[in-house]
Structure 1
Amino acid sequence: MSWTDIAALDDIPLRGARIVKTHAGCVAVFRTDENEVYAVSDTCPHKGGPLSEGIVHGKKVTCPLHNWVFSLETGEAQGADEGQIATYSVRVENGRVLMDLSQISKVAA
């Protein structure tokens, strides 16, 4: 794994997200009420909505365009919606958020 420091945990608002721009597109890094951090594709597969602008509830995010709901853990659409978003490994160490950028390279290939 290729862990890279991408932000301070406090830079990501509770129930919010920050964007990490990569050569393969934008990744949304979310922080839940429980201070859990998840990284997923920022693009909804339905209409391309920016998931980073969506509503975080529990371990899910709702797309701001058409209310599709995705699991931040698995990337799978919830309920009657179909589709999936890419998920990426992240971890928190000493108040810093680290992301495995080697996964981005595999998705882009």
Structure 2
Amino acid sequence: MSATVSTAALVKTRSVALGSLWQIPLGEGRVFTIGERSFAVFRARDGGVHATDPFCPHRQGPLADGLVGAGTVTCPFHGFRFDLRTGCAIGHDCPPIGTYRVSVDAYGDIHLHLE
């Protein structure tokens, strides 16, 4: 499942509300598209919310469809694991994925921040 968000909010503030945290089940990810850019947003089993590039750099596997653990995501194509905080590959020689700051407000809405 993916969601498309208007670019107007991102251009003005460099942050944008993506939607409710509850649309991402615990231990899963979803893709959000802002203009021409896509981001994978995860609700990790440890309660953390993380945003990364949407594809594995190894073979372009869709990371939002991967297995989400406590602070990690495993690519569904080849099993490469990445740290959701740093983007670094765990146990494989693979380039890191981009990570992006997210926050959840008092209403449960996820905000993506691009500095």
Q: 1:29 aligns with which of 12, 21, 41?
A: 41
Percent of residue pairs identical: 36
Structure 1, unpaired ranges of 5+? 104-109
Q: CA deviation at 1:40?
A: 0.1
Superposed CA deviations along residues 18-42 of structure 1, whole A, max 9, x for unmatched, are 1111345321000012321000001
Q: Give me the whole-angstrom Cα distance separating, in 2, the residues matched to 1:61 and 1:80.
A: 13
Q: Secondary structure at the match of 1:89?
A: strand
Contact in 2 for aligned 1:69/1:81 (Cα 8 Å): no
Size of the aligned set, in residue pairs, is 102
Aligned CA-pair RMSD: 1.4
Q: Give me the whole-angstrom Cα distance separating, in 2, the residues matched to 1:58 and 1:3.
A: 25
Superposed CA deviations along residues 5-30 of structure 1, whole A, max 9, x for unmatched, are 11111111100011111345321000
Q: How does the TM-score come out when normalised to structure 2?
A: 0.82
User: Alpha carbons of 1:75 and 1:24: their partners in 2 closer, same or farther (altered >3 Å)?
Assistant: farther
Q: 1:44 aligns with which of 21, 46, 56?
A: 56
Higher mean C-alpha deviation, range 33-42 or range 60-69:
33-42
- The answer on 1:65 being equivalent to 2:77 is yes
